[in-house]
């Protein structure tokens, strides 16, 4: 294990919270500043859309701008301008994003039967709402965590017949995806772009959609704040002493994890 060359953080619940009004608290600012001075780049890896992520970055008022951005848990952007609050400053990694979109087009074509199964299941479970922005089922919103647990059980069974089908869960929200596209694979692609090994990456996250990047395959140092879901805490604990579960919430917890592995 060596110097941390890349910090990869989730956004909501990891950098900020509603309690913090989306702002970067002073403890986190100090930790970010320290890891930056140590030479690390910063990737924000989120399930937010590009526009929503940019709004969040603007509201965050971090001491410096992230260098890379992953949105929708799958599309990669690199900052090429100073002003991270402008969409024009974010350049897509074209090869990755285009292939990603193509794989998802194919997924919906070859797995129409799987999505029909989802539609049938939703019809008899009114506690979940399908999200179909362009006539295809992109995701689901559930009325509670337990309703989402039920849906996840159903989807895990469905996946046995449709192995390319995967999903990203973030609390009561879920987005369908191709199994090759998640926060772990996007982190790997960014690491390749920079030319660094997983052993020099610190990843921090709090929810189910962070599980794939919170893995020694993709990051040598793993951090989660105390508000993390039990599955995330369990996975980070497995990687001790290079996995750290903070006793502090949100940005304060992430800051504590950064300090721990920076020293």
Residues at the contact surface with Mg ion, assessed by CB under 5 A: 10, 12-13, 206-207
Residue closer to Mg ion by CB (options 29, 227) is: 227
Residue closer to Mg ion by CB (options 15, 190) is: 15
Residue closer to Mg ion by CB (options 10, 215) is: 10
Q: Are 10 and 168 in contact (CB under 8 A)?
A: no
Minimal distance, residue 66 CB to Mg ion, in Å? 15
Around Cβ 223, how many Cβ atoms within 10 Å? 29
Minimal distance, residue 157 CB to Mg ion, in Å? 26
CA angle, 151 then 215 then 188, to 5°: 100
Alpha-carbon distance of 159 to 155, in angstroms, equals 6
Residue closer to Mg ion by CB (options 53, 196) is: 53
Alpha-carbon distance of 256 to 156, in angstroms, equals 35
Going by C-alpha positions, the residue among 232, 227, 202 that lies closest to residue 20 is 227
Minimal distance, residue 90 CB to Mg ion, in Å? 20
Alpha-carbon distance of 225 to 26, in angstroms, equals 16
Q: Which residue is nearest to Mg ion (CB)?
A: 13
Minimal distance, residue 186 CB to Mg ion, in Å? 15
Residue closer to Mg ion by CB (options 16, 84) is: 16
Minimal distance, residue 104 CB to Mg ion, in Å? 22
Alpha-carbon distance of 62 to 66, in angstroms, equals 9
- 128, β-bridge pairs: 142
Around Cβ 129, how many Cβ atoms within 10 Å? 14
Residue closer to Mg ion by CB (options 25, 194) is: 25
Minimal distance, residue 228 CB to Mg ion, in Å? 9
């Amino acid at each position: 294990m060596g110097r941390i060359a890349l910090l990869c953080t989730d956004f909501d619940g990891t950098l900020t919270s509603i309690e913090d009004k989306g702002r970067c608290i002073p403890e986190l600012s100090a930790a970010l500043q320290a890891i930056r001075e140590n030479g690390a780049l910063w990737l924000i890896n989120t399930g937010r859309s590009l526009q929503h992520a940019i709004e969040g970055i603007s509201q965050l008022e971090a001491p410096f701008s992230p260098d890379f951005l992953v949105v929708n848990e799958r599309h990669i952007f690199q900052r090429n301008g100073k002003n991270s609050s402008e969409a024009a400053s974010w350049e897509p990694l074209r090869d990755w994003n285009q292939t990603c979109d193509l794989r998802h087009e194919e997924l919906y074509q070859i797995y129409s039967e799987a999505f029909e199964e989802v539609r049938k299941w939703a019809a008899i479970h009114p506690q979940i709402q399908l999200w179909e922005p362009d006539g295809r089922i992109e995701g689901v919103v559930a009325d509670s965590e337990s309703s989402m647990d039920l849906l996840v059980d159903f989807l895990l069974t469905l996946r046995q017949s449709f192995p390319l089908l995967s999903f990203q869960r973030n609390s009561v929200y879920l987005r369908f995806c191709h199994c090759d596209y998640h926060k772990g694979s996007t982190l790997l692609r960014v690491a390749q772009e920079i030319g660094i090994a997983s052993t020099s990456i610190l990843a921090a996250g709090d929810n189910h959609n962070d599980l794939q990047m919170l893995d020694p395959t993709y990051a040598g140092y793993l951090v989660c704040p105390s508000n993390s879901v039990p599955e995330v805490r369990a996975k980070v604990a497995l990687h001790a002493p290079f996995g750290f579960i903070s006793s502090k919430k949100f940005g304060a917890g992430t800051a504590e994890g950064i300090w721990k592995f920076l020293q």
